[in-house]
């Protein structure tokens, strides 16, 4: 059984890095596609599109490694179209353009920004609720006294600092208890989409493992 703290750390790292990789992948894919399509009337467009697909392929492979290392997921090797002996230089260059998995990699580079942003935001908010709620009693003393109503007063728990401190502590404890499940759910959402786009063809292409016959 894995260490719960190590599991939490890996889920956190996976969710936070999903946003960074999502931004990088989205920018490279959109710019590469726009430039390549715009230049398709020349052979340069083919090279640009092929380069974009290779970049998306590298980002897809990085995501497979992340799922295997951080989430302990069973990730099959990717199945890509390869060149054949005798293919001309243009056909070899355009091979990624004829490969369905390469286009799925590009699709992942684009849509991963959506789920990456969501899981990043939820992870940051939950960790902030844990840290802020559990330590509010300590740094509350340096907050200025004002006329603004606190959360405890707004929900009818009183207007004292003690009531506010107890409420924030309760929120922090609730966030701490639910943190592993929330982060695990976020990782499952992001990796689920990644698995559907990046691993489905690999699973279909993988040879079946023969069953041992009964004696």
| CA pair distance 34, 48, nearest whole angstrom | 10
Length of the chain, in residues: 215
Of 50, 71, 68, 65, the C-alpha closest to 2 is 71
DSSP 21-58: HHHHHHHHHHHHHHHHHHTTTSHHHHHHHHHHHHHHHH
Q: What does the pLDDT read at residue 177?
A: 96
pLDDT band per the 50, 70, 90 thresholds, residue 143? confident
pLDDT in tens, 77-123: 888 888 777 777 778 888 889 999 999 999 999 999 999 999 999 99
Q: What pLDDT shows up at residue 206?
A: 59
Q: How far apart are alpha carbons 81 and 91 in whole angstroms? A: 12
> DSSP readout, 117-153?
HHHHHHHHHHHHHHHHHHHHHHHGGGSPP-SSPPHHH
Q: Do 125 and 172 meet the contact criterion of CB atoms below 8 Å apart?
A: no
Indicate the pTM of the whole model: 0.85
Mean pLDDT of the region 132-161: 71
CA distance 164 to 158: 8
Residue 209 pLDDT greater than 50, yes or no: no
Instruction: Give residue-wise pLDDT tens across range 13-54.
Output: 999 999 999 999 999 999 999 999 999 888 899 999 999 999
Q: What is the pLDDT of residue 139?
A: 76
CA R_g for the chain: 24
Per-residue pLDDT, 214 = 39
In the DSSP assignment, the letter for residue 1 is: -
Q: How far apart are CA 106 and CA 35, in angstroms?
A: 14
For residue 85, give the 3-state DSSP assignment. coil
Torsion angles phi and psi, residue 75, rounded to 5: -110, 115
């Amino acid at each position: 059984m894995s260490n719960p703290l190590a599991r939490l750390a890996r889920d956190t790292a996976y969710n936070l890095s999903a946003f960074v990789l999502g931004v990088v992948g989205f920018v490279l894919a959109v710019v590469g596609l726009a430039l390549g399509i715009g230049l398709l009337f020349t052979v340069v467009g083919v090279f640009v599109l092929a380069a974009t697909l290779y970049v998306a392929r590298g980002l897809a492979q990085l995501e497979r490694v992340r799922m295997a290392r951080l989430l302990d997921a069973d990730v099959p090797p990717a199945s890509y179209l390869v060149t054949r002996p005798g293919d001309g230089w243009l056909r070899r260059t355009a091979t990624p353009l004829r490969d369905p998995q390469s286009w799925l990699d590009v699709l992942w580079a684009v849509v991963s920004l959506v789920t990456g942003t969501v899981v990043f935001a939820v992870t940051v908010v939950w960790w902030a609720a844990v840290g802020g709620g559990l330590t509010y009693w300590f740094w509350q003393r340096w907050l200025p006294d004002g006329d603004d109503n606190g959360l405890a007063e707004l929900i009818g728990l009183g207007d004292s600092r003690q009531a506010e401190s107890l409420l924030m502590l309760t929120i922090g404890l609730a966030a701490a208890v639910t943190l592993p499940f929330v982060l695990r759910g976020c990782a499952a959402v992001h990796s689920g989409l990644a698995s559907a786009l990046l691993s489905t063809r690999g699973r279909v292409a993988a040879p079946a493992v023969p069953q041992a016959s009964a004696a």
